[in-house]
């Protein structure tokens, strides 16, 4: 009995199909896991001070450090400044860097969907109609007719992901999207910290200008007194000229401060997505800000899950791990199945009429045999890229701990510094008042008065800078701890897997996760 075509096709494809099914669950390459952080990693060898004290009269309230305290998503609201809150919200809506990061995230997400399509069959249709005349010489029919040939077909192609190369590529693309997610978070955190720090700088410079103007007023009054004494013959020109010089020198410090104020405001406008001429005149001074009295100190084990830069580095490491699997899969056989079904007819016959059907079904296996070692070297390059990403990840983690340690130390040191600056300013003020009174009575020389004025000027400006430093230190701590992105208002724990305002699954999906062991070096070579 003659074997039918369909039976012959099934005999050819059956072994191939069975092999594909047997290997369908195989995924070559390492399975990624977050590297462990050293169990003894901490912010300091010594026990950290739990309270930073400063003078309450200068807005320097004591700040208590609370281990394990969670970080609010809108941490800047703890400064209790409605004007500052409004600026941060405006920046988040209008800053071009945030918009660019959001677009990069959407792009990465679409690439995931594009790669996922490789797991499914590809179907295409073709319709063709042509008129042709066959050569009478070749056909043996001297008067061969002119034919109208019509055809319609549906083609299907499928590449079974037998060794998981396609799945590893999707894993790589997904890791790249996760990298973009945390790049967006890093942009978000950097922007909010920059807006807050710029507002603090504006407040500091404005207070320095106010202190300088007060010193100019005092020196101007002293100059009037000296000029009156010279008219009475009590002093000579030298003392008056010296005071004029001191007054001019103090006035000369105003233009740099005013320039700094203008440049800082221009920087703030840029963060807000405004042009310099769109300055609406928001004003800040240090008295309008309040230091948070309680500050969080995240546990060392939580830092790697909270810092956007660490999570970005982890995503890059994950991508490098997946790329090893892609490189390994490229060395193995590639399978494909193609088929088509359609109809081809000549003039006078309808498509899909009896006897007009055509079909084909084929399977293939392609195995690289000789490529001069190209695929092997690409695999080795992927392993080296993983090692590079692992080193960069560790470096990012070390930097994260360094940032937290620096911020904690700055909180303590700058609180102490503010205390001393307040004492120095009050002492200088008292001394200036005393010397001025003595000078009016002729009890001290003018040089004593000049020295007292200069000392007070320096201590007043130093106190303003020390006061501003505490606000900046607080901002630096929140930034070093990750900024509390997982507690933001746009995170809805009830919509896990649903699109959020960034067009991706809920932020709840990327909450800090528990650490897992890194893949062994040998496993990376599988």
- Average pLDDT of every residue of the chain: 85
Radius of gyration of the chain (CA): 37
* Alpha carbon distance 26, 19 (integer Å): 11
Is residue 56 very low, low, confident or very high in pLDDT (cuts 50, 70, 90)?
A: low
* Alpha carbon distance 173, 151 (integer Å): 40
Q: Where are the beta strands (DSSP E) in 104-215?
A: 122-133, 146-158
Report the pLDDT value the prediction gives residue 518, as an integer from 0 to 100: 38
Residue 159 lies in a domain: no
User: 99: which residues sit within 8 A by CB, 6+ positions away?
Assistant: none
Residue 165 near residue 23, CB atoms below 8 Å: no
Domain CATH code at residue 436: 1.20.1600.10
Q: Percent of the chain scored above 90 by pLDDT?
A: 63
**String of DSSP letters for 235-296:** S-HHHHHHHHHHHHHHHHTHHHHHHHHHHHHHHHHHHTT--GGG-------GGG----SEEE
Report the pLDDT value the prediction gives residue 283, as an integer from 0 to 100: 85
Residue 154 has pLDDT above 80, yes or no: yes
What are the backbone dihedrals phi and psi of residue 311, each rounded to the nearest 5 degrees, phi first? -65, -35
Residue 72 lies in a domain: yes
**Domain encompassing residue 418:** 32-121+164-332+376-524
Report the pLDDT value the prediction gives residue 5, as an integer from 0 to 100: 45
Give the number of C-alpha atoms closer than 13 A to the C-alpha of residue 399, restricted to the C-beta side: 13
Quote the pTM value: 0.82
What's the domain count of the chain? 1
Residue 271 lies in a domain: yes
Report the pLDDT value the prediction gives residue 233, as an integer from 0 to 100: 84
Residue 359 lies in a domain: no
What length is written for the chain? 526
Q: Please measure the distance between the N-terminal and C-terminal CA atoms of the chain and give it in whole angstroms.
A: 50
Residue 428 lies in a domain: yes
Residue 518 lies in a domain: yes
Residue 403 lies in a domain: yes
**String of DSSP letters for 438-492:** HHHTT-S-HHHHHHHHHHHHHHHHHHHHHHHHHHHHHHHHHHHTTTTGGG-TT--
Residue 356 has pLDDT above 90, yes or no: no
Q: Tell me: the pLDDT tens digits for 225-235?
A: 889 988 988 88
Q: Tell which wins on pLDDT, 510 or 121.
A: 121
Report the pLDDT value the prediction gives residue 235, as an integer from 0 to 100: 83
How remote is the C-alpha of 184 from its chain's centroid?
Answer: 4
Residue 339 lies in a domain: no
Residue 519 has pLDDT above 70, yes or no: no
Nearest Cα to Cα of residue 182 among 72, 315, 35: 315
DSSP-derived 3-state class of residue 361: strand
Residue 87 near residue 282, CB atoms below 8 Å: yes
Report the pLDDT value the prediction gives residue 25, as an integer from 0 to 100: 57
Q: What average pLDDT does range 68-84 have in this prediction?
A: 93
């Amino acid at each position: 009995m003659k074997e039918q075509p369909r039976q012959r096709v099934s005999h050819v494809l059956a072994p191939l199909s069975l092999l594909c099914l047997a290997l369908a669950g195989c995924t070559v390459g390492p399975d990624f896991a977050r590297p462990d952080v050293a169990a003894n990693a901490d912010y300091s060898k010594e026990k950290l001070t739990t309270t930073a004290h400063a003078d309450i009269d200068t807005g320097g309230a004591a700040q208590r450090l609370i281990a394990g305290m969670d970080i609010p998503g809108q941490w800047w609201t703890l400064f209790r400044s409605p004007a500052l809150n409004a600026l941060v919200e405006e920046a988040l809506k209008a800053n071009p860097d945030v918009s660019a990061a959001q677009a990069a995230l959407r792009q990465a997400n679409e690439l995931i969907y594009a790669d996922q399509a490789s797991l499914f069959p590809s179907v295409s249709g073709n319709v063709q109609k042509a008129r042709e005349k066959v050569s009478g010489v070749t056909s043996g029919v001297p008067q061969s007719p002119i034919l109208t040939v019509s055809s319609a077909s549906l083609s299907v192609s499928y590449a079974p992901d037998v060794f998981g190369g396609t799945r590893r590529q999707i894993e790589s693309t997904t890791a790249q999207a996760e990298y973009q997610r945390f790049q967006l978070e890093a942009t978000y955190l950097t922007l909010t910290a920059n807006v807050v720090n710029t507002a603090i700088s504006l407040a500091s410079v404005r207070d320095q200008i106010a202190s300088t103007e007060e010193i100019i007023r005092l020196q101007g009054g002293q100059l009037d007194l000296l000029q009156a004494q010279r008219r009475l013959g009590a002093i000579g020109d030298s003392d008056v000229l010296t005071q004029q010089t001191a007054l001019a020198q103090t006035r000369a410090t105003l233009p740099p401060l005013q320039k700094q104020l203008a440049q800082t405001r221009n920087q703030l406008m840029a963060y807000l997505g405004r042009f310099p001429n769109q300055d609406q005149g928001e004003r800040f001074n240090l008295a309008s800000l309040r230091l948070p009295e309680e500050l969080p100190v995240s546990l060392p084990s939580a830092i790697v899950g909270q810092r956007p830069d660490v999570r970005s580095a982890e995503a890059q490491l994950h991508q490098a791990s997946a790329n090893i699997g892609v490189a390994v899969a490229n060395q193995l056989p590639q399978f494909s199945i193609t088929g088509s079904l359609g109809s081809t007819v000549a003039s006078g016959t309808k498509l899909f009429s009896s006897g007009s059907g055509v079909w084909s079904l084929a399977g293939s296996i392609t195995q690289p045999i000789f490529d001069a070692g190209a695929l092997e070297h690409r695999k080795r390059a992927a392993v080296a890229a993983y090692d590079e990403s692992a080193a960069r990840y560790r470096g990012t983690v070390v930097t994260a701990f360094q940032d937290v340690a620096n911020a904690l130390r700055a909180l303590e040191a700058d609180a102490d510094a503010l205390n001393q600056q307040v004492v120095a300013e009050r002492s200088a003020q008292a001394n200036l008042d005393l010397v001025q009174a003595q000078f009016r009575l002729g009890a001290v020389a003018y040089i004593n008065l000049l020295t007292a004025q200069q000392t007070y000027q320096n201590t007043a400006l130093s106190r303003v800078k020390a006061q501003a430093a505490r606000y900046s230190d607080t901002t630096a701590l929140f930034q070093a701890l990750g900024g509390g992105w997982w507690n933001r208002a746009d995170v809805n724990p009830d919509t896990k897997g649903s699109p959020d305002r960034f067009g991706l699954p809920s932020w709840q999906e990327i909450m800090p996760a528990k650490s897992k062991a890194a893949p062994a070096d040998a496993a990376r070579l599988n």
